[in-house]
Amino acid sequence: MKITLISPYHGGSHSAWAEGYQRHSRHDITLLTLPARFWKWRMHGGAVTLANAFLAADDNPDLILATDMLDLTTFLAIARRNCESTAAVLYMHENQLTYPLPADGSTGPMRRQLGERDQHYAFINYASQLAADRILFNSNYHMESYFAALPNFLKHFPENNELATIEQLRAKSQVLPVGIAFNRFGAPPEALLAPHDDAPLIIWNQRWEYDKNPAAFFKALFSLKDQGVRFRLALCGQQFGRRPPIFDKAIKRLSEEIIHVGMADEDTYRSLLWTADITVSTAVHEFFGISILEAIKCHTFPILPRRLSYPELLPESFHRICLYDSQQGLVERLRWALANAQEAAEVGRQLASSAVAYDWSSVALQYDRTLSETALFGVR
């Protein structure tokens, strides 16, 4: 089957997902992309640019698979002569309706609107879902939180609220997780498995942005340091523009503990993951959790909030020891893991096998089956 995969904001997790599926699918997948910049313009004009590129290529795929950054309605309207009967599937990495905005309205994605959510981008997501034959969400949390928020979003319009469409959208929605290419991390180097006297290493491998709530993470570390608890710290992950000021404060205050700062290249990242003992999230936004799963696959002990998509990532039997409910709970989990390194390491080894379910070798089969069924039968 021929698939055109459209990724208007092709960078980070979006490009890893698209290119990972392309490599592991049994289908013939052509990527149609734009660079990962100017996200608002991608949601407005990207559909026009990509539709024209699609027509110029004179491609006639069996199915179109697009990310949530595409205005699918505009794309299909312009490209209809080459895809009039082609099934269309929308993959929701995120959405503009429930993505959290920072408390400081002068920062973040809606700073030009003084912190007020621009509902037009949420409407693009909604209209694109109406145009799609099937909607895929990357986690159950994402799907349920979106549909919980959609009624109020539609009700705020003055008339013809189209509330009946909600059940129509839900009926053609399902969860398909993001696939991860775990093979790029290889096996643990023997040197890293040898006993050592170093303090346990905590890794932060998430984006350096407000929605990952770094203030709560560093608050916990400051508390532990003040109590004399020993640890080492690696700060990696992507940065976009100005990083939250708390990072500058933390880099100074934790200078004796820090062994790495900044986005790591592939070899360094692999080494840090295998060296790390503990990975932590304090996020207030997470629709899936690629970086956490990468760390888990490399045998780190995860300390995660009991919210968002995180409970889905771990077998329920590990929830009690790995999930926390408050800032105090985070500090207590960290203190326990740092004081009981061997026990935490054993939990990490046990959890690593559960992460295999998210490897592309398994997930691509689910995508192939779902997309084949959609191309053949549709769901509307």
261-309 pLDDT, tens digit per residue, is 999 999 999 999 999 999 999 999 999 999 999 999 999 999 999 999 9
pLDDT value at 191 more than 60: no
Percentage of the chain lying above the pLDDT 70 cut: 92
User: Given this model, what pLDDT does residue 103 score?
Assistant: 64
Cα angle value 89/91/92 (rounded, 5°): 140
Task: Indicate whether 310 and 349 sit together in one domain.
Answer: yes
Least confident of 56-65, 102-111, 143-152: 102-111
Number of domains in the chain: 2
- Average pLDDT for 14-34: 97
User: Given this model, what pLDDT does residue 99 score?
Assistant: 83
141 or 105, greater pLDDT: 141
User: Given this model, what pLDDT does residue 114 score?
Assistant: 47
Of 24, 75, 322, 35, the closest CA to residue 178 belongs to: 24
pLDDT value at 70 more than 60: yes
Task: Indicate whether 235 and 365 sit together in one domain.
Answer: no
User: Given this model, what pLDDT does residue 104 score?
Assistant: 60
Task: Indicate whether 156 and 189 sit together in one domain.
Answer: no
Burial 264-278 (b: 16+ CB within 10 A, else e): beeeebbbbbbbbbb
pLDDT value at 244 more than 90: no
The pLDDT-based confidence of 118 (bands split at 50, 70, 90) is confident
User: Given this model, what pLDDT does residue 119 score?
Assistant: 87
Task: Indicate whether 198 and 338 sit together in one domain.
Answer: yes
The pLDDT-based confidence of 374 (bands split at 50, 70, 90) is very high
Q: Dihedral (C-alpha) 24, 181, 370, 91: value to the nearest 10 degrees?
A: -120
Task: Indicate whether 167 and 210 sit together in one domain.
Answer: no
The pLDDT-based confidence of 110 (bands split at 50, 70, 90) is low
Least confident of 17-31, 166-180, 238-252, 349-363: 238-252
Task: Indicate whether 192 and 147 sit together in one domain.
Answer: no
Task: Indicate whether 279 and 233 sit together in one domain.
Answer: yes
User: Given this model, what pLDDT does residue 87 score?
Assistant: 96
DSSP secondary structure letters along 134-171? EEEES-HHHHHHHHHHHHHHHHTSSS---TTHHHHHHH
Show the domain range for 213.
Answer: 182-358
Task: Indicate whether 167 and 272 sit together in one domain.
Answer: no
User: Given this model, what pLDDT does residue 317 score?
Assistant: 96
pLDDT in tens, 321-336: 999 999 999 999 999 9
Query: Within 13 Å and on the Cβ side, how many CA atoms surround 370?
Result: 22
Task: Indicate whether 81 and 218 sit together in one domain.
Answer: no
Task: Indicate whether 284 and 343 sit together in one domain.
Answer: yes
Nearest-angstrom CA–CA distance, 112 and 127: 24
User: Given this model, what pLDDT does residue 193 score?
Assistant: 54
Nearest-angstrom CA–CA distance, 260 and 236: 7
pLDDT value at 112 more than 60: no
- Average pLDDT for 208-228: 95
pLDDT value at 348 more than 60: yes
235 or 191, greater pLDDT: 235
Average pLDDT value over all residues in the chain: 92
**Sheet containing 258-261, strands listed edge to edge, beginning at the edge strand earlier in sequence:** 258-261, 232-235, 201-204, 278-280, 301-305, 323-324
The pLDDT-based confidence of 85 (bands split at 50, 70, 90) is confident
Strand partners, 233: 202, 258
Structure tokens at 298: 């490399």
User: Given this model, what pLDDT does residue 380 score?
Assistant: 47
CATH number reported for the structural domain that contains residue 248 in this entry: 3.40.50.2000
pLDDT value at 194 more than 70: no
Question: Strand, coil or helix: what is 6?
Answer: strand
Task: Indicate whether 216 and 264 sit together in one domain.
Answer: yes
- Average pLDDT for 164-193: 89
Task: Indicate whether 160 and 247 sit together in one domain.
Answer: no
The pLDDT-based confidence of 237 (bands split at 50, 70, 90) is confident
